[in-house]
Structure 1
Protein backbone atom coordinates (compact mmCIF):
# COMPACT_ATOMS: atom_id res chain seq x y z
CA UNK A 1 0.00 0.00 0.00
CA UNK A 2 2.77 2.45 0.84
CA UNK A 3 2.56 5.65 2.85
CA UNK A 4 -0.64 7.64 2.58
CA UNK A 5 -1.35 11.10 3.91
CA UNK A 6 -4.69 11.92 5.39
CA UNK A 7 -6.62 14.11 7.80
CA UNK A 8 -8.29 13.26 11.11
CA UNK A 9 -10.72 15.53 12.99
CA UNK A 10 -10.41 15.51 16.78
CA UNK A 11 -13.06 16.72 19.21
CA UNK A 12 -13.72 16.70 22.95
CA UNK A 13 -16.37 18.26 25.19
CA UNK A 14 -16.12 16.37 28.48
CA UNK A 15 -13.56 16.64 31.25
CA UNK A 16 -10.21 18.26 30.46
CA UNK A 17 -10.84 18.81 26.76
CA UNK A 18 -7.31 20.07 26.07
CA UNK A 19 -5.77 17.07 27.78
CA UNK A 20 -7.88 14.66 25.71
CA UNK A 21 -6.82 16.33 22.45
CA UNK A 22 -3.15 16.35 23.43
CA UNK A 23 -3.40 12.74 24.60
CA UNK A 24 -5.00 11.72 21.32
CA UNK A 25 -2.10 13.21 19.35
CA UNK A 26 0.38 11.26 21.48
CA UNK A 27 -1.72 8.10 21.07
CA UNK A 28 -1.80 8.48 17.29
CA UNK A 29 2.00 8.57 17.25
CA UNK A 30 2.19 5.53 19.55
CA UNK A 31 -0.04 3.57 17.15
CA UNK A 32 2.16 4.28 14.12
CA UNK A 33 0.06 7.14 12.78
CA UNK A 34 2.66 9.85 12.20
CA UNK A 35 1.28 13.33 12.87
CA UNK A 36 2.78 15.76 10.36
CA UNK A 37 0.90 18.94 11.23
CA UNK A 38 -1.88 20.12 13.50
CA UNK A 39 -4.41 22.91 13.06
CA UNK A 40 -5.18 25.53 15.65
CA UNK A 41 -7.82 24.49 18.17
CA UNK A 42 -11.35 25.86 17.84
CA UNK A 43 -14.12 26.02 20.44
CA UNK A 44 -17.49 25.17 18.97
CA UNK A 45 -21.12 24.91 19.93
CA UNK A 46 -22.58 21.40 19.83
CA UNK A 47 -24.39 20.26 16.68
CA UNK A 48 -27.29 17.81 16.59
CA UNK A 49 -27.78 17.11 20.30
CA UNK A 50 -27.51 20.66 21.72
CA UNK A 51 -27.84 20.13 25.49
CA UNK A 52 -24.13 19.57 26.13
CA UNK A 53 -20.91 21.53 26.75
CA UNK A 54 -18.97 23.26 23.98
CA UNK A 55 -16.39 21.25 22.05
CA UNK A 56 -12.75 21.81 21.39
CA UNK A 57 -12.03 20.74 17.80
CA UNK A 58 -8.96 20.49 15.62
CA UNK A 59 -7.60 18.58 12.63
CA UNK A 60 -4.29 16.80 12.14
CA UNK A 61 -2.56 15.89 8.90
CA UNK A 62 -1.01 12.44 9.25
CA UNK A 63 0.93 9.79 7.38
CA UNK A 64 0.48 6.04 7.70
CA UNK A 65 0.99 2.76 5.88
CA UNK A 66 -1.97 1.11 7.62
CA UNK A 67 -4.83 -0.36 5.59
CA UNK A 68 -7.90 1.81 6.16
CA UNK A 69 -9.82 -0.74 8.27
CA UNK A 70 -6.81 -1.17 10.56
CA UNK A 71 -6.50 2.61 10.79
CA UNK A 72 -10.17 2.82 11.80
CA UNK A 73 -9.66 0.14 14.47
CA UNK A 74 -6.72 2.09 15.91
CA UNK A 75 -8.78 5.30 16.00
CA UNK A 76 -11.61 3.50 17.83
CA UNK A 77 -9.08 2.00 20.28
CA UNK A 78 -7.66 5.48 20.99
CA UNK A 79 -11.16 6.82 21.65
CA UNK A 80 -11.83 3.93 24.06
CA UNK A 81 -8.47 4.44 25.81
CA UNK A 82 -9.52 8.04 26.46
CA UNK A 83 -12.87 7.06 27.99
CA UNK A 84 -15.18 7.39 24.96
CA UNK A 85 -18.56 5.80 25.65
CA UNK A 86 -21.08 5.70 22.79
CA UNK A 87 -24.55 6.25 24.24
CA UNK A 88 -26.24 9.18 22.51
CA UNK A 89 -25.74 9.92 18.82
CA UNK A 90 -23.83 13.22 18.59
CA UNK A 91 -23.82 13.28 22.40
CA UNK A 92 -21.07 14.42 24.77
CA UNK A 93 -17.75 12.61 24.56
CA UNK A 94 -14.27 12.69 25.99
CA UNK A 95 -12.78 12.13 22.55
CA UNK A 96 -14.02 11.82 18.99
CA UNK A 97 -11.71 10.91 16.10
CA UNK A 98 -13.10 11.06 12.56
CA UNK A 99 -11.12 10.03 9.50
CA UNK A 100 -11.78 12.78 6.96
CA UNK A 101 -9.54 11.84 4.03
CA UNK A 102 -6.98 9.07 3.45
CA UNK A 103 -4.90 9.61 0.34
CA UNK A 104 -7.12 9.38 -2.74
CA UNK A 105 -9.29 6.66 -1.16
CA UNK A 106 -13.01 6.65 -1.86
CA UNK A 107 -14.81 4.05 0.28
CA UNK A 108 -18.47 3.51 1.09
CA UNK A 109 -18.64 0.65 3.56
CA UNK A 110 -21.17 0.01 6.37
CA UNK A 111 -18.41 0.64 8.96
CA UNK A 112 -16.57 3.49 7.27
CA UNK A 113 -17.08 6.08 4.55
CA UNK A 114 -14.10 8.02 3.17
CA UNK A 115 -14.08 10.92 2.53
CA UNK A 116 -16.17 11.59 5.63
CA UNK A 117 -19.81 11.75 4.43
CA UNK A 118 -20.80 14.95 6.29
CA UNK A 119 -17.61 17.00 6.01
CA UNK A 120 -19.29 19.67 3.84
CA UNK A 121 -21.94 20.24 6.57
CA UNK A 122 -19.55 20.75 9.48
CA UNK A 123 -18.04 24.16 10.11
CA UNK A 124 -16.23 22.75 13.15
CA UNK A 125 -14.31 20.42 10.80
CA UNK A 126 -13.90 22.69 7.78
CA UNK A 127 -12.50 25.70 9.68
CA UNK A 128 -9.49 23.82 11.14
CA UNK A 129 -9.07 21.71 7.98
CA UNK A 130 -8.91 24.92 5.95
CA UNK A 131 -5.95 26.03 8.10
CA UNK A 132 -4.01 22.95 6.92
CA UNK A 133 -5.26 22.26 3.40
CA UNK A 134 -7.40 25.01 1.84
CA UNK A 135 -6.78 23.73 -1.70
CA UNK A 136 -7.50 20.07 -0.96
CA UNK A 137 -10.12 18.92 -3.45
CA UNK A 138 -12.99 16.74 -2.27
CA UNK A 139 -12.94 13.92 -4.85
CA UNK A 140 -16.71 13.41 -4.92
CA UNK A 141 -17.99 16.97 -4.54
CA UNK A 142 -15.37 18.62 -6.74
CA UNK A 143 -15.00 21.46 -4.22
CA UNK A 144 -11.91 22.65 -2.36
CA UNK A 145 -11.89 22.76 1.41
CA UNK A 146 -11.77 26.56 1.17
CA UNK A 147 -14.91 26.64 -1.01
CA UNK A 148 -16.76 24.23 1.31
CA UNK A 149 -15.72 26.38 4.31
CA UNK A 150 -17.06 29.51 2.59
CA UNK A 151 -20.42 27.82 1.96
CA UNK A 152 -20.94 25.93 5.24
CA UNK A 153 -23.57 27.22 7.69
CA UNK A 154 -22.78 27.60 11.38
CA UNK A 155 -19.39 29.34 11.16
CA UNK A 156 -20.53 31.85 13.80
CA UNK A 157 -20.50 29.01 16.37
CA UNK A 158 -16.82 28.21 15.65
CA UNK A 159 -14.20 30.44 17.26
CA UNK A 160 -10.43 30.16 17.54
CA UNK A 161 -9.25 28.84 20.93
CA UNK A 162 -6.45 31.17 21.91
CA UNK A 163 -4.60 28.84 24.27
CA UNK A 164 -1.98 26.47 22.81
CA UNK A 165 -2.35 22.79 23.64
CA UNK A 166 -0.21 21.76 26.58
CA UNK A 167 1.18 18.79 24.68
CA UNK A 168 4.29 20.52 23.43
CA UNK A 169 3.63 18.81 20.07
CA UNK A 170 6.73 18.37 17.94
CA UNK A 171 6.49 16.46 14.64
CA UNK A 172 8.55 13.30 14.55
CA UNK A 173 11.64 13.14 12.34
CA UNK A 174 11.68 11.10 9.13
Structure 2
Protein backbone atom coordinates (compact mmCIF):
# COMPACT_ATOMS: atom_id res chain seq x y z
CA UNK A 1 0.00 0.00 0.00
CA UNK A 2 1.29 3.44 -0.95
CA UNK A 3 0.46 6.77 0.66
CA UNK A 4 0.33 9.60 -1.85
CA UNK A 5 -0.09 13.31 -1.16
CA UNK A 6 -1.91 15.18 -3.92
CA UNK A 7 -2.80 18.79 -4.64
CA UNK A 8 -6.01 19.65 -6.44
CA UNK A 9 -6.61 23.13 -7.74
CA UNK A 10 -8.50 25.15 -10.28
CA UNK A 11 -9.57 28.65 -11.21
CA UNK A 12 -12.49 28.16 -13.63
CA UNK A 13 -16.13 27.35 -13.02
CA UNK A 14 -17.43 26.54 -9.55
CA UNK A 15 -14.06 26.08 -7.88
CA UNK A 16 -15.42 24.54 -4.63
CA UNK A 17 -17.58 22.09 -6.53
CA UNK A 18 -14.69 21.17 -8.83
CA UNK A 19 -12.47 20.33 -5.83
CA UNK A 20 -15.24 18.18 -4.35
CA UNK A 21 -15.81 16.41 -7.66
CA UNK A 22 -12.08 15.76 -8.03
CA UNK A 23 -11.93 14.28 -4.51
CA UNK A 24 -14.87 11.95 -5.26
CA UNK A 25 -13.29 10.82 -8.53
CA UNK A 26 -9.90 10.30 -6.88
CA UNK A 27 -11.51 8.11 -4.23
CA UNK A 28 -13.46 6.17 -6.87
CA UNK A 29 -10.53 5.64 -9.27
CA UNK A 30 -7.29 5.87 -7.28
CA UNK A 31 -7.61 4.95 -3.61
CA UNK A 32 -9.16 5.84 -0.29
CA UNK A 33 -8.78 9.38 1.04
CA UNK A 34 -7.08 9.52 4.46
CA UNK A 35 -7.10 13.26 4.99
CA UNK A 36 -8.09 16.40 3.15
CA UNK A 37 -7.06 19.99 3.88
CA UNK A 38 -9.09 23.14 4.03
CA UNK A 39 -9.49 25.06 0.78
CA UNK A 40 -6.97 27.83 0.14
CA UNK A 41 -7.24 30.76 -2.28
CA UNK A 42 -4.30 32.32 -4.07
CA UNK A 43 -3.60 34.45 -7.10
CA UNK A 44 -2.40 32.56 -10.16
CA UNK A 45 1.28 31.63 -9.99
CA UNK A 46 3.38 32.44 -13.06
CA UNK A 47 0.82 33.72 -15.56
CA UNK A 48 -1.08 36.15 -13.32
CA UNK A 49 -3.74 37.64 -15.64
CA UNK A 50 -6.41 35.09 -14.72
CA UNK A 51 -8.85 34.27 -11.88
CA UNK A 52 -7.62 33.23 -8.42
CA UNK A 53 -7.07 29.54 -7.72
CA UNK A 54 -8.65 27.39 -5.03
CA UNK A 55 -6.32 24.60 -3.86
CA UNK A 56 -6.66 21.63 -1.54
CA UNK A 57 -4.25 18.89 -0.43
CA UNK A 58 -5.30 15.25 -0.01
CA UNK A 59 -3.60 12.12 1.22
CA UNK A 60 -4.70 8.79 -0.19
CA UNK A 61 -3.89 5.13 0.30
CA UNK A 62 -3.44 3.48 -3.07
CA UNK A 63 -2.27 0.21 -4.54
CA UNK A 64 -1.22 2.10 -7.68
CA UNK A 65 2.37 2.80 -8.62
CA UNK A 66 3.36 6.37 -9.63
CA UNK A 67 2.85 6.15 -13.40
CA UNK A 68 -0.52 4.41 -13.14
CA UNK A 69 -1.67 6.89 -10.48
CA UNK A 70 -0.61 9.81 -12.69
CA UNK A 71 -2.45 8.32 -15.69
CA UNK A 72 -5.63 8.01 -13.63
CA UNK A 73 -5.29 11.57 -12.32
CA UNK A 74 -4.86 12.86 -15.88
CA UNK A 75 -7.97 10.90 -16.90
CA UNK A 76 -9.90 12.59 -14.07
CA UNK A 77 -8.69 16.00 -15.29
CA UNK A 78 -9.87 15.14 -18.81
CA UNK A 79 -13.22 13.84 -17.54
CA UNK A 80 -13.74 17.13 -15.70
CA UNK A 81 -13.02 19.17 -18.85
CA UNK A 82 -9.39 20.22 -18.38
CA UNK A 83 -8.08 22.01 -21.48
CA UNK A 84 -4.31 22.30 -21.97
CA UNK A 85 -3.98 25.37 -24.19
CA UNK A 86 -0.68 26.61 -22.68
CA UNK A 87 1.47 25.79 -19.64
CA UNK A 88 0.04 28.27 -17.12
CA UNK A 89 -3.47 28.43 -18.63
CA UNK A 90 -6.58 28.79 -16.48
CA UNK A 91 -8.08 25.39 -15.67
CA UNK A 92 -11.14 23.67 -14.29
CA UNK A 93 -8.92 21.25 -12.36
CA UNK A 94 -5.28 20.36 -11.94
CA UNK A 95 -4.17 17.35 -9.91
CA UNK A 96 -0.53 16.87 -8.96
CA UNK A 97 1.26 14.13 -7.05
CA UNK A 98 3.36 15.95 -4.44
CA UNK A 99 4.85 13.07 -2.47
CA UNK A 100 4.49 9.30 -2.36
CA UNK A 101 5.87 7.37 0.60
CA UNK A 102 9.53 8.41 0.91
CA UNK A 103 9.94 7.88 -2.81
CA UNK A 104 12.27 9.70 -5.19
CA UNK A 105 11.04 8.78 -8.67
CA UNK A 106 11.24 10.15 -12.19
CA UNK A 107 9.66 8.91 -15.41
CA UNK A 108 8.36 10.43 -18.62
CA UNK A 109 5.01 11.19 -16.96
CA UNK A 110 5.73 12.05 -13.32
CA UNK A 111 8.45 13.27 -10.96
CA UNK A 112 8.14 12.54 -7.23
CA UNK A 113 8.54 14.54 -5.12
CA UNK A 114 6.97 17.28 -7.22
CA UNK A 115 9.96 19.34 -8.45
CA UNK A 116 8.53 22.74 -7.43
CA UNK A 117 6.81 21.69 -4.20
CA UNK A 118 9.23 23.61 -1.93
CA UNK A 119 9.00 26.79 -4.06
CA UNK A 120 5.24 27.29 -3.88
CA UNK A 121 3.44 28.59 -0.81
CA UNK A 122 0.06 27.60 -2.33
CA UNK A 123 1.25 23.97 -2.26
CA UNK A 124 2.98 24.03 1.11
CA UNK A 125 0.18 25.74 3.08
CA UNK A 126 -2.50 23.07 2.50
CA UNK A 127 0.07 20.27 2.62
CA UNK A 128 1.31 21.50 6.02
CA UNK A 129 -2.24 21.18 7.35
CA UNK A 130 -2.41 17.44 6.63
CA UNK A 131 1.26 16.39 6.53
CA UNK A 132 3.34 19.02 8.31
CA UNK A 133 5.74 16.52 9.86
CA UNK A 134 6.33 14.48 6.71
CA UNK A 135 9.98 14.67 5.65
CA UNK A 136 10.71 15.75 2.08
CA UNK A 137 12.93 12.95 0.72
CA UNK A 138 15.26 15.31 -1.17
CA UNK A 139 15.54 18.32 1.17
CA UNK A 140 15.42 16.17 4.35
CA UNK A 141 13.22 18.78 6.04
CA UNK A 142 9.62 18.50 7.12
CA UNK A 143 6.86 20.37 5.30
CA UNK A 144 6.46 22.88 8.15
CA UNK A 145 10.14 23.84 7.81
CA UNK A 146 9.85 24.13 4.03
CA UNK A 147 6.86 26.47 4.42
CA UNK A 148 8.79 28.65 6.91
CA UNK A 149 11.72 28.85 4.48
CA UNK A 150 9.62 29.36 1.33
CA UNK A 151 10.54 32.56 -0.52
CA UNK A 152 7.29 32.66 -2.52
CA UNK A 153 5.52 35.87 -1.47
CA UNK A 154 2.21 35.18 -3.21
CA UNK A 155 -0.46 35.45 -0.48
CA UNK A 156 -2.33 32.26 0.38
CA UNK A 157 -5.61 32.52 2.30
CA UNK A 158 -7.48 29.70 4.01
CA UNK A 159 -11.09 30.19 2.95
CA UNK A 160 -12.74 26.99 4.10
CA UNK A 161 -12.07 25.19 7.36
CA UNK A 162 -14.54 22.41 6.56
CA UNK A 163 -13.02 19.24 5.23
**What TM-score range do you get, normalising by the shorter chain?**
over 0.9
Report the count of equivalent residues.
Answer: 163
**Alignment correspondent of 2:71:** 73
Tell me how far 1:6 sits from its aligned partner.
1.4
Tell me how far 1:61 sits from its aligned partner.
0.8
**Alignment correspondent of 1:34:** 32
C-alpha separation in 2, matches of 1:5 and 1:67: 10
**Alignment correspondent of 1:83:** 81
C-alpha separation in 2, matches of 1:87 and 1:132: 32
C-alpha separation in 1, matches of 2:90 and 2:71: 21
Over 3 Å counting, the alpha-carbon distance change for 1:11 and 1:128 in structure 2 is same
Structure 1, residues 34-64: CA drift from partner, whole Å, max 9, x if none? 1111001000111111110000001001100
**Alignment correspondent of 2:18:** 20
Over 3 Å counting, the alpha-carbon distance change for 1:117 and 1:156 in structure 2 is closer
Structure 1, residues 14-44: CA drift from partner, whole Å, max 9, x if none? 0110111000000011104211110010001
RMSD: 1.3
TM-score normalised per structure 2 = 0.95
Moved over 3 A (4+): none
What aligned pairs does 1:83-102 form with structure 2 within 5 A after superposition? 83-102=81-100
